[in-house]
Amino acid sequence: MTTLAALATPSPRSACARSGGPSYCDACKVRPLAVCAALEAGELHELDAIVHQGRVAAKETFIHQGEDATSVFSVVEGTVRLYKLLSDGRRQIVGFAMPGDFLGLALHNRYGFSADAVDAVALCKFDRAEFDRLVSAKPHFLRRLHEFATHELVIAQEQMTLIGRRSAEERIAAFLLMMRDRWARISGASVTVQLPMQRLDIADYLGLTIETVSRTLTRLARDRVILIVPEAVRILDEGRLAQLARS
Amino acid sequence: MTTLAALATPSPRSACARSGGPSYCDACKVRPLAVCAALEAGELHELDAIVHQGRVAAKETFIHQGEDATSVFSVVEGTVRLYKLLSDGRRQIVGFAMPGDFLGLALHNRYGFSADAVDAVALCKFDRAEFDRLVSAKPHFLRRLHEFATHELVIAQEQMTLIGRRSAEERIAAFLLMMRDRWARISGASVTVQLPMQRLDIADYLGLTIETVSRTLTRLARDRVILIVPEAVRILDEGRLAQLARS
DNA sequence: TCGCACGATTGATCTAGCACAAAGACCGTG
DNA sequence: CACGGTCTTTGTGCTAGATCAATCGTGCGA
């Protein structure tokens, strides 16, 4: 198992014994299709030639805002938080990256945010220059990335609306439904919403304080809209939740 | 001069008498390079084959959230506000588009926001299908659009941080400096920040109320940080403003 | 089994920004 | 140049959510 240190200095490809196909080594516990949910087999095969893999322990930071953007990542397992820090410590989480998501796609010289692992994370790491070369040579691949980027933009605009114009209760409701839908894409529909991140992360994502998040969840539980369980929330009254979240 | 009606039903290209080069007709008062500041002459020439032009009067809406995304636009003159409306009338402006900016790039079937003209606006309008065909055929062009989209994403993430974690005064200071920088790209540096949008637009962009925007500007003016003039603000103490806005 | 550390919850109070209301300021029009 | 509409400013409470401060689990290592 590779560590963050191994990520920073990518291990040679031979470290992962592979059969030559678009499969990843068992040692890394990486499922090939998870590199990017939107990619097709042929595209994966191309990526396969330039990928480095690794794992990041919970709470470790592997992208530092302002540093040279030398890598592009995709999440294979686990949850990553992307955030901006103000000089006085205030933090805004601008997104959670989950299996299939890309990080660091912006064509800038420096990372615009920091990123660290919420829980244990498995990553694919690509050298930026190699990645760019591949992308330039394969228009269909660039098109996928462009789709991914514009989709991220749509989500970012919804998030602005959520933070700028909605009450705490509405933000929490929308957050729970969003997390439910994201997990549904990965592991199938469920009334149980996995919440690997802690309350402080939810607060910093929604522009609230940890106390407000806690109180709001407690109130929703008291009203029998949700049931709070460790690391998760069970949705009891989806209609009511959707009504609170609706635009 | 074409109107919104003419935009909705694009006038035949012959309506604009052109010499065949990458120049636009005088009647439309459109400067070719303004189609997109990031594009080069060759790329403009390609766009030239599929462009339709028109003008939108102040306050007219030309993109309706949720409708079929049949067109891509670029702003040539004036300022456009992009916004999302909640069912109860709350509004979040997710961005202002100014000369050189593209609108409706997201590869979705429906527009994710509404857009209307803040002041008199000149637009280039492209049929989405034709635009997509051109983009697919010209990888360098797709790359430009991807750059534009990722840049928009970076801006959206900064905006999230602004709205989610900063005080009213910090938001206003950052907004003024941002507007100053955007105009600088178009018409050169100046201590006078043009503000074509009204207070309510600024409020809905920053997640504040009109009263808070007005009071905050008044306070900055009382403290001799800015000078309020019609349709604009003059920056008197840039250092102080930057200090308030800094991350 | 204890104790300690970390996260979550709950309580009490405070305040930045909101909501409502009433003047101003400005501008085009008859 | 008076009138009406629109936008902005200013004044006065009010409240959602922040802040400060205890608890209250829960897991884990000695």
CATH number for B225:
1.10.10.10
Q: Using the 8-state DSSP alphabet, how is residue A57 labeled?
A: -
Same-domain pairing of B200 and B89: no
Q: Which of B175, B57, B156, B164 is nearest to B113 (CA)?
A: B156
ipTM of the complex: 0.88
Q: Which domain holds residue B74?
A: 4-158
B54 and B117 housed in the same domain: yes
- Residue B157, CA distances (Å) to A114, A207, A246 in order: 12, 13, 23
Chain B interface mutation, best of A81, A160, A166, highest count of B Cβ atoms under 10 Å: A160
Q: Are residues B120 and B13 in the same domain?
A: yes
User: Using a CB-CB distance cutoff of 8 angstroms, which residues of chain B are in contact with residue A161?
Assistant: 84, 86, 92, 94
Give the bases of strand C that a protein CB approaches within 7 Å. 7-12, 16-21, 26-27
Closest nucleotide (C1' vs CA) to B198 is D7
Domain count, chain A: 2
Q: Are residues A86 and A194 in the same domain?
A: no
E strand map for A86-151 = 91-97, 102-103, 114-117, 121-127
Extract the tokens encoding B120: 């008199």
Per-residue CB contacts under 7 A with strand D, chain A residues 147-186? 167-169
pLDDT tens digits for B113-170?
999 999 999 999 999 998 888 888 888 888 888 999 999 999 999 999 999 999 999 9
C-alpha to C-alpha distance for B135 and B133, rounded to whole angstroms: 5
Q: Do B142 and A145 touch (CB under 8 A)?
A: no
Tens of pLDDT, residue by residue, chain A (247 residues) = 333 433 333 333 333 333 333 334 333 334 443 445 455 556 666 666 678 888 999 999 999 999 999 999 999 899 999 999 999 999 999 999 999 899 998 878 999 999 999 999 999 999 999 888 888 888 888 888 899 999 999 999 999 999 999 999 999 999 999 999 999 988 888 999 999 999 999 999 999 999 999 999 999 999 999 999 999 999 999 999 999 998 7
Q: Are residues B42 and B132 in the same domain?
A: yes
Q: Collect all residues of chain A within an 8 Å Cβ-Cβ radius of residue B108.
A: 150-151, 154
Task: Indicate whether A11 and A40 sit together in one domain.
Answer: yes
In Å, what is the separation between the CA of B167 and the C1' of C15? 13
B172 and B154 both lie in a single domain: no
Query: Residues in chain B, how many?
Result: 247
User: Do A125 and A57 fall into the same domain?
Assistant: yes
d(CA B15, CA B157): 41
Residues A52 and A145 placed together within one structural domain of the fold? yes
Could you tell me the CATH number of the domain that includes residue B49?
2.60.120.10
Do both A154 and A173 map to the same domain? no
3-state secondary structure of A137: helix
CA of A25 vs chain B CAs: smallest distance (Å): 32
A63 and A134 assigned to the same domain: yes
- Positions of chain D reached by protein Cβ under 7 A: 7-12, 16-21, 27
Residues B30-79 have pLDDT tens digits of 444 344 545 555 666 666 667 888 899 999 999 999 999 999 999 989 99
H or E segment and range at residue A145: helix A139-165
Measure the CA–CA gap between A79 and B86, rounded to whole angstroms: 30
